[in-house]
Amino acid sequence: MLAAGLLLLIATLGGTLLTFLFDRSASLGARVCMGACIGLVLLATVGFLSALWLGLGFGCILLSAIVLLLPMFLLYSRMYRRLILDSLSASKQAVSSSPRHRTVAYLVFYFAMAVLLGMVFSRAVFERPDGIFTGAVNNLGDLPLHLQIIASFDLGHNLPPEDPTYAGVGFAYPFIVDFLAAMLVRTGAGVISAMWLESMTLALALALPLAPPAALDSQSAQPAQPEPPQRQNPGAELGARLPAHY
């Protein structure tokens, strides 16, 4: 499970660095959230394409990790290196200048969200000596299908993918999320742990935007400067309301 967590961490890091290519004003927290989603999508996509060539094994996973580390080369660019350092500095300054009670409140909020989500996903699928169970009613019909798809990639070498139920039939189901879980299983995680890690990573990436916008903006710690009073010009307002031919 440690190797699976490391693989997800590499994907998140690579995705976070890629955000500097298209967004130069986002805060560090928002970048990490975007990077987690981008990184997992890229990890699954690169892994699937390489598995078509190498099969789902050590070589496929190693190649995928190397590709996800390629955004590190952005640090060789002076412009992107400055953007990254400025983002880290702005986040550090925002945390240090924020009131202590607000920082504690945010930490408590995110910790509570992590615990809540962890408990929910731990009930989505769990194992007992007499079988595999789920605590979600909607999962009764869906869970066996996903377990079957993951097993077809991990144990059945179902590449190119065919329908795991009907041999020789093309697979039209959106299976990439299950392929990512199969990759995590190949790194040593159990199938239930792989599904939990994948779900927690994506769900926590959605937790930060639930905070007030002020928590996401690194410039929010700066007190707002009052705008100077504007001198009213009744004539200009009246002229704006009159038709153009007057």
Find the DSSP H helices in the chain. 2-18, 28-54, 58-69, 78-97, 100-124, 139-154, 176-186, 191-205, 213-216, 234-241
**Nearest-angstrom CA–CA distance, 222 and 33:** 23
**Nearest-angstrom CA–CA distance, 31 and 241:** 45
Tell me the pLDDT band of 131, cut-offs 50, 70 and 90.
confident
Whether residue 240 lies inside any domain: the answer is no
Whether residue 132 lies inside any domain: the answer is yes
Whether residue 56 lies inside any domain: the answer is yes
pLDDT of 200 > 80? The answer is: yes
Q: What is the DSSP letter of 133?
A: E
Whether residue 107 lies inside any domain: the answer is yes
Whether residue 225 lies inside any domain: the answer is no
Q: Is residue 218 within 8 Å of 113, Cβ to Cβ?
A: no
pTM here is: 0.80
**Nearest-angstrom CA–CA distance, 76 and 85:** 13
Whether residue 176 lies inside any domain: the answer is yes
pLDDT of 82 > 50? The answer is: yes
pLDDT value of position 187: 94
Domain span holding position 114: 2-213
Whether residue 219 lies inside any domain: the answer is no
Tell me the pLDDT band of 92, cut-offs 50, 70 and 90.
confident
Whether residue 177 lies inside any domain: the answer is yes
For range 103-113, the mean pLDDT: 86
State how many domains the chain has: 1
Helix, strand or coil for residue 24?
coil
For 132, phi and psi rounded to 5 degrees?
Answer: -100, 135
Contacting residues for 149 by C-beta, under 8 A, at least 6 apart? 164, 173, 175, 178
Tell me the pLDDT band of 230, cut-offs 50, 70 and 90.
low
**Nearest-angstrom CA–CA distance, 204 and 120:** 13
Model pLDDT for residues 135-159, shown as the tens digit of each residue = 888 888 889 899 999 999 999 889 9
Instruction: Please state, rounded to an integer, the average pLDDT across all residues of the chain.
Output: 84
